[in-house]
Amino acid sequence: MKSYRLYTKIALVSILTITAISCKNTGDSSNKGEAHEDSQKNANAKVSDMPEFRNNKAKEAFTYYIEIKNALVDSDVEKVKEGAEKLSKVLPSTSLKKATTEIMNTDDIEAQRHSFTTITLLIDTIVKETIISGEIFKQYCPMAFDNKGGYWLSTEEKVMNPYFGDRMLHCGSVTDTIQKIK
């Protein structure tokens, strides 16, 4: 029985170590500038780089979603609130309204990030049903939310983690590419 517990502890420590190494933070203070610079590039992307959707509501919702994601990458509480307010006015979903209201009513970036997971689930469904051209990258960080993991959507294949911002800017991987179903 003791050897089983020992092997279990060793396996658990090994898994946690591998996960930490795969999402390691180099401690390089230049990450802060990189997070802002990279999210600014994404925010300033040409309209032609954005995917196209069947309707303007979906396009507008996805644009505000990306605005929120980029603000979370930058850990900018006020810009996250602004994006959430814009998004709340686009779609009538009760779940979306609840999540955006939670974001607008807090100055806690971690609470905003948690509410963003709900928004991601809703927007993911919308974009899968309405995309007509372009690509959206579904990304995942296994370390988000106490190692429970978290997904988000991006217009770029390069990982810019909204759940850790500059602390673990590139932690994550692309798990799916959303395109028009042929």
Question: Which pLDDT band, with edges at 50, 70 and 90, does 17 fall under?
Answer: very low
In a domain, 99, yes or no: yes
> Is residue 14 in a domain?
no
Tell which residue, 91, 102, 78, 72, has the closest CA to residue 164. 72
CB 59 within 8 A of CB 131: no
- Torsion of the alpha carbons at 101, 172, 62 and 84, rounded to the nearest 10: 20
- The answer to the question of residue 8 being in a domain is no
Q: Would residue 16 count as lying in a domain? A: no
Higher pLDDT, 78 or 28: 78
Number of domains into which the chain is organized? 1
CB atoms within 10 A of CB 2: 6
Residue 106's domain spans which residues?
A: 29-178
Q: What percent of the chain has pLDDT over 70?
A: 73
End-to-end Cα spacing for the chain: 55
Q: Is 174 helix (H, G, I), strand (E, B) or coil?
A: strand
How many other β-carbons are positioned within 10 Å of the β-carbon of residue 96? 21
**CB distance 160 to 38 below 8 Å:** yes
pLDDT averaged over every residue in the chain: 82
pLDDT digits (tens, 9 = 90+) for 54-84: 999 999 999 999 999 999 999 999 999 999 9
Nearest Cα to Cα of residue 173 among 4, 11, 19:
19
The encoded tokens of residue 25 equal 């933070």
pLDDT at 174: 97
User: For residue 178, what is the DSSP state?
Assistant: E
Position with higher pLDDT, 62 vs 37:
62
Give the whole-angstrom CA distance, residue 119 versus residue 87.
10
**Is 44 contained in some domain?**
yes
The per-residue pLDDT for 39 is 45
Report the alpha-carbon angle 127-132-135, nearest 5: 65
User: Could you tell me the CA-to-CA distances from 116 to 10, 22, 64, 153 in Å, in that order?
Assistant: 34, 23, 12, 11
Quick one: pLDDT band at residue 12, thresholds 50, 70, 90? very low
Please tell me the predicted confidence (pLDDT) of residue 182: 65
Q: What is the pLDDT of residue 43?
A: 45
Better-predicted residue by pLDDT, 41 or 172:
172
Q: Determine, yes or no, domain membership for 136.
A: yes
- 167 inside domain: yes
In a domain, 164, yes or no: yes
pLDDT band, very low/low/confident/very high, at 181 (cuts 50, 70, 90): confident
Cα separation, 154 vs 13, in Å, equals: 32
